Chains A and B, each alone.
Chain A
């Protein structure tokens, strides 16, 4: 099946929390002059009842679908968003925004602090997944949308989908958390801590105040390399690289002899061109703080009005299937109408970006049964 792309798209900006108003964060601190970068695809109907919010993962951005007019790049979930695709732009109005704390247009540590005129750096307050959702809620309110048809996302995007359903059960018809968890396990926190330490161990990090001097490129590249290992599976790495050498012979030096080494270095070095090191620190911390387990999910709600499609992937060891089954367990307690699918894939955590055919079949059919008023 081949579907048309949405075509050229551009990122827009929404500003809120203009003084005297401000955005109060979960930590108790507050932010003002908050900018949210977002893109939309398709048309909002007259009843404003066909809106789907797409939430991105750790290093994603607002550019989820179509081809960017700025740099010609396809959206990170372009295979899923467009006419006739799973998130069908002929039917639905799709919104995707960059998260609070990010570095792709939304206010984050690399943004200018209105008080000093310089980047916030570590003066930026710690943010949480709930804070990200609050920023999104302000954006959704600005459209006059009272109720989202669906909130969908993978990995950290799935956390936001869960947070939306939990905090605003009456404002979400359906939620699709993919390859995600109600809370980070100690193993996931441990990976994030190693990732953060590799950035902070780079002298170029300068305690976070590096903006006049340039990024801690080495540290951020290593951080990303660690990430990429956790996104793949043993099997997908075997299939992609095996023990193939870049050159024919071993060099007997500390160069990147193996293809897998070259790949990680390439991904690491590319990443520093587009992502801010401090944002990586803030966002990983937000994921570690996230915890909707037990009674913290949909507090006070006896019967969930939100319908759920929970998806995991069998080879995902970063967010293993049992974590999605934990989500299902909590949903059973809330008598939520829940469909859960443990999809077969060898791609590990990356599967949610790659297994488009299976996800499309599942998500399209699920959404077809969510009523648009």
Chain B
């Protein structure tokens, strides 16, 4: 059973505490939230834009708000959630800076997951083929990709330092296992647990 679940989902399920309040931004069809309910008896709320994904969430018994991520966050009181999840969505949102800020206000901790644009194959494709990289974490051609920004592990670490955000945990992921050696080069995906300094 566990083998069929994405590695990032498994890690997130390990990170969060029992009975945690979770807000998942861009929750899709609610697979991650369902896992968190099952594994950690989490109390969950999703935000999703797509009609069909919305219906699937409701079918699963999830509570989910239809709307975009930017406007979805603003009305929650401070620290309404133990964790706000921004998994595989950062590269698609317009105001990433604002969303991270708001997520840190609304949640005690924020889990951020994104594809590493500086993966070795991506670098080589750019360098030698002169083409936009396509891989398991970035599976789209330039003309169909939902991604409006590309960031790397280093970019994100630098951003957190500049904004005085504490990185509590970090995970570097290959397709189905963790990467320990030169993650800047070999990680396809990354997961960070961050929080505001002082919280």
Contacts and interface: CB of A to CB of B under 8 A. Distances in A.
- A328, A339, A362, most chain B CB atoms within 10 A: A339
A362 B59 CA distance: 8
B66 A341 contact: yes
A340 B58 contact: no
B80 interface: yes
A338 B65 contact: yes
B75 A339 contact: no
Given A332-B76, A333-B75, A333-B77, A362 B65 contact: no
A46 B62 CA distance: 29
Contacts of A56: none
B55 A337 contact: no
Contacts of B55: 361-362, 365
Interface in B41-87: 45, 51, 54-55, 57-59, 61-67, 75-77, 80
Contacts of B65: 328, 338-340
Interface residues of B, number: 18
Contact of B67 (A325, A333, A361, A362): A325
A328 B75 CA distance: 9
A341 B54 contact: yes
Contacts of B57: 339
Interface in A339-373: 339-342, 344, 361-362, 365-366, 368-369
Interface in A317-334: 325, 328-329, 332-333
Interface string A80-101: 0000000000000000000000
Nearest to B59: A365
Given A332-B77, A342-B66, A362-B58, 9 more contacts: A329-B75, A332-B80, A335-B77, A338-B65, A339-B57, A361-B55, A361-B58, A365-B59, A369-B61
Interface of A: 307, 325, 328-329, 332-333, 335, 337-342, 344, 361-362, 365-366, 368-369
The 10 closest A-B pairs by CB, nearest first: A369-B61, A329-B75, A337-B63, A340-B65, A365-B58, A332-B75, A365-B59, A339-B63, A342-B66, A341-B66
